[in-house]
Structure 1
Amino acid sequence: MNWTAKAIQHKGENRIAVYFEKNADLIARIKKIDGARWSQQKMAWHIPDTEENRVRFKITPLSDTIPSQEAILQIEKFKQWMHSKRYSLSTIVTYSEALKSFLIFYREKAIADITNEDVIVYNNNYILKNNLSASYQNQTVNAIKLFFITVRESKMNIDKIHRPKRAKVLPNVLSKEEIKLILNAHSNIKHNTMLAMIYSCGLRCGELLALKPVHIDSQRNIVLLKNSKGKKDRIVPLSPKILEILRDYFKLYKPTVYLFEGQNKGEPYSDKSLQSVLKQALQKTGITKPVTLHWLRHSYATHLLESGTDLRYIQELLGHNSSKTTEIYTHVSTKSIQQIKSPFDDL
């Protein structure tokens, strides 16, 4: 099986990032390694940087993967520029790491001499050679383009940096029966309410955990999502059914700062704990599909489409910039497909 690994620093720790195309067998194997964790930010699994793991994944020491002094200074300037433009912390980290990998590849070359041809060579001789994903390649292209916007003396033609062809991956969708089983799996009202909120409002995980009691407008039956992805506020409808569940939850837990708080009052519930809540629900229902929290959001959008909601409204509810992003749900909706009669039935 194809994979690549490299030494990285993540949240102040020396770690080893392991990159590979999505593969259930490899995921199961890496999960068995002590300290293995998934990073959404880096789009990779990462494990402790130990001698045993270095030998296991045949990687070079971190000291051998340091960019040139010029690159280090330029990456720092790039970070400061992104900070000044109010890019999110996760984007700053992701772009900086992607740019760092690119500049390490050309550590013997002056940045001012890097050309469009060098990007093609990097894509072929590093990204494709190491079987890194198209999404990682696209992320790197974003970082390179943005970086060279900030570099005054450059041979790079930013408009001609090409992107990889994206694979057409359909979103994973659950049936309404499966959703009902998941949402009723827990006897703990807090756990059920969190999962129900994600599905009933089509929320991202981070949006749910950032909610505060003041964001629930019971008079207008809406939820205000503040500073969600892309630094955009939006509102979504709040069903009367979920409002009743929220009221029961609120009476019992009396949250102070965040709507869903962790063990310490005033602190938000952790995303890792929320993922664990879903995992336990799947175990209780016997659903063996590799369901993630985002599947609930995908299911919300698809079920809305199947019930006749206009695609433009769904785009607004999900907070998508482009209608093309929302149109993907037309390919997983089964309402029209189920009405098509197979010629096999007439044989």
Structure 2
Amino acid sequence: MKQAVGYKYETDAAHLARFDRFTLENYPEATTLTREMVLDWCSKKAHEHQANQLFRASIIRQFGIYLDRIGVTAYVIPKRYYPAETPYVPYIYSTDELQRFFAETDRCRYCSECPDRHLIMPLFFRMIYACGLRVSEARLLTVGDVDVEQGILSVHHSKKDNSRLVPMSVELAERCRGYFRQVHPFPKDTEMFFPALGGKPMTLANVYHNFRRFLWRAGISHGGRGKGPRIHDFRHTFACHCLKQWVLQGKDLAAYLPVLKTYLGHDSFTETAYYLRLTADVFPDLMLKLEGRYPDIIPTLEIAADETD
């Protein structure tokens, strides 16, 4: 049902499979979803973060709601039953930090274990920032998805199974053409544009490992796991820098926000309007101008929009 309405629902499905094994082991005679089972399953483990518990509770809550709707007796754990962690506030990179970070990607050395790494990393991270991509949108691009001549990316089956076209800047498109000639001399549309060993997509772990190394060499402080800055913050930074530029240019944001919404692949206007608040908070000198012109569409800064990859 979830997949039918556009959700990938893969990680969630794996959690439900584990819940199935959990009930078989601990409640083999159960015929309904009871409060005892749900709270036992959701109990916080000593080693885990609060976010993991909340995620597990959210999945089992949705499952309970589904069972109730089809007429099966089920306990539905109340929303916000467990206290939430302090919400993560996106890290907005300064122009200087971006320059230092990308300079370090340019210094990436050849590695025999991953022969194309020194070519991939400089373009990969620039593309995430310059096109406002989610990490996996860049990671899963195929050769056929990247029109290096027209400078357009085709993003397929992204969040909520949405697809969109993403134009690149002239400079980024030129970088893509140079990269393409070196990495894909005999291209096939089905090949990964950023290939790992064996032609497979780069893993999230590999991308993150390289990110942390470049971050450290660029002298950008990292607060530790869950603290940031994160790779996904390049996307937040792109949106804020874009809005800042439009405000300084006197653009009508009521007309331009739908453009940004489409470019970022947002499902609702609320997700995009969130960046107005983030931009106003990061660049205080723009606050009065934004508050004065768009008081009714600037939401409260509570949680980061589009937080998941």
Shared fold per TM-score greater than 0.5: yes
1:160-203: CA deviations, max 9, x gaps? Answer: 84345765432121112211211121233321011111111111
The correspondence for 2:172, drawn from 231, 234, 242, is: 242
Structure 1 counterpart of 2:303: none
Tell me if the contact between 1:111 and 1:154 (Cα under 8 Å) persists in the aligned partners: no
Structure 2 counterpart of 1:63: none
Quote the Cα distance in structure 2 between the aligned partners of 1:190 and 1:333: 30
Point out 4+ residue stretches in structure 1 off by more than 4 angstroms. 81-87, 98-101, 103-106, 127-132, 150-153, 164-168
The correspondence for 2:73, drawn from 155, 165, 185, is: 155
Q: TM-score, normalised by structure 1?
A: 0.61
Tell me if the contact between 1:148 and 1:154 (Cα under 8 Å) persists in the aligned partners: no
**SS at the partner of 1:184?**
helix
Structure 1 segment 115-126 matched on structure 2, within 5 A? 118=35, 122=39, 126=43
The correspondence for 1:226, drawn from 151, 156, 166, is: 156
Q: Relative contact order: is structure 1 or structure 2 higher (C-alpha 8 Å, sep ≥ 6)? A: 2
Structure 1 segment 167-206 matched on structure 2, within 5 A? 167-185=86-104, 186-187=106-107, 188-206=118-136
Structure 1 counterpart of 2:268: 322
1:298-342: CA deviations, max 9, x gaps? Answer: 21122112122633333322222233333332333257512579x
The correspondence for 1:302, drawn from 233, 236, 240, is: 240
1:202-239: CA deviations, max 9, x gaps? Answer: 11221111111221234543211011122211222211
Quote the Cα distance in structure 1 between the aligned partners of 2:37 and 2:217: 49
Shift of 1:259: 0.7
Q: Alpha carbons of 1:111 and 1:228: their partners in 2 closer, same or farther (altered >3 Å)?
A: same
**SS at the partner of 2:160?**
coil
Q: Percent identity?
A: 19
Structure 1 counterpart of 2:30: 110
Number of residues of Structure 1 aligned to a counterpart in Structure 2 = 255
RMSD (Å) for aligned C-alpha atoms? 3.7
1:55-108: CA deviations, max 9, x gaps? Answer: xxxxxxxxxxxxxxxxxxxxxxxxxx768888443231134446766x589838
The correspondence for 2:285, drawn from 326, 338, 343, is: 338
Structure 1 segment 206-285 matched on structure 2, within 5 A? 206-218=136-148, 220-254=150-184, 256=187, 257-264=191-198, 266-285=199-218
Structure 1 counterpart of 2:58: 141
Shift of 1:279: 2.1
Structure 1 counterpart of 2:11: 90
Higher radius of gyration, 1 or 2 = 1
- Structure 2 regions of 5+ residues with no counterpart? 108-117, 223-227, 247-252, 289-309
- Structure 1 regions of 5+ residues with no counterpart? 1-80, 342-347
Shift of 1:149: 1.9
Quote the Cα distance in structure 1 between the aligned partners of 2:42 and 2:192: 47
Q: Alpha carbons of 1:283 and 1:91: their partners in 2 closer, same or farther (altered >3 Å)?
A: same
Tell me if the contact between 2:151 and 2:167 (Cα under 8 Å) persists in the aligned partners: yes
Q: Which has the higher strand share?
A: 1
